[in-house]
Amino acid sequence: MASGTKTKKILLVSTDRAFSQDTRTAFAASEVIELLTVEKSVNELRGEVQETDFGAVIVDMDAAKLEEIESLQRI
């Protein structure tokens, strides 16, 4: 990584281990992106998203489940 280049943090929220691994592999090629994962459903999230300064959050969820949409709105 070039000196002085700021790392961008992305949070992945997923209970799907295969999806998490595929996503880690995809982002591993980047020297400026740090991917952090939380192996919880969106319903189980508490303060994980607010505790760190993330540039983006990727949430693996079932949009057909109203409770997951409501949980996402609370983040």
Neighbours of 11 (CB within 10 A): 20
| Residue in 15, 24, 22, 18 with CA at minimum distance from that of residue 42 | 15
The pLDDT, as a whole number, for residue 4 is 66
**Which stretches does DSSP call E strand in the chain?**
8-13, 33-38, 56-59
Work out the mean pLDDT of the chain and round it to a whole number.
87
pTM, entire model = 0.80
- In one letter, which amino acid is 42? V
Q: pLDDT tens across 57-71, in order?
A: 999 998 899 998 888
Checking if the pLDDT of 55 tops 80, the result is yes
Read off the pLDDT band of 2 (50, 70, 90).
Answer: low
